[in-house]
């Protein structure tokens, strides 16, 4: 019998202009964390480390995701991933550990 790889899905909602941890779940990813910005977002979401900023600082700006866009972040620990919105307080992302 083959072992089932780690698997976790979730959502982070109420993303605003303050960086939020993607998840506190400590399940480890085998290949990384797939993150998709909700198609209904009006703001750009930035993905990065705990100090991620939204198009405001060269050293800390995250990777931008427009509504509906995705990125695979090659990290094993999803608790190290943070998100922040360019404006507003009602953006959300969906994620899956792969």
- Taking the C-alpha atoms of residue 98 and residue 5, their distance in angstroms, rounded to an integer, is 8
- Taking the C-alpha atoms of residue 71 and residue 81, their distance in angstroms, rounded to an integer, is 12
Model pLDDT, residue 84: 98
- Taking the C-alpha atoms of residue 63 and residue 77, their distance in angstroms, rounded to an integer, is 18
Question: How far apart, in Å, do the first and last CA atoms of the chain sit?
Answer: 20
Going residue by residue through the chain, which has 98 residues, state the pLDDT in tens, using 9 for 90 and above. 555 566 799 999 999 999 999 999 999 999 999 999 999 999 999 999 999 999 999 999 999 999 999 999 999 999 999 999 999 989 999 999 99
Q: What is the pTM of this model?
A: 0.92
- Residue 97 contacts residue 8 (beta carbons within 8 Å): yes
| Residue 29: how many other CB atoms lie within 10 Å | 23
């Amino acid at each position: 019998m083959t072992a089932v790889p780690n698997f976790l899905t979730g959502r982070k909602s109420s993303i605003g202009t303050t960086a939020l941890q993607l998840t506190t779940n400590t399940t480890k990813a085998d290949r990384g964390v797939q993150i998709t910005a909700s198609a209904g977002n009006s703001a750009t979401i930035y993905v990065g480390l705990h100090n991620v900023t939204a198009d405001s600082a060269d050293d800390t700006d995250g990777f931008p995701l427009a509504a509906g866009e995705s990125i695979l972040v090659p990290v094993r620990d999803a608790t190290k991933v943070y998100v922040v919105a360019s404006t507003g307080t009602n953006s959300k992302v969906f994620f899956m550990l792969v």
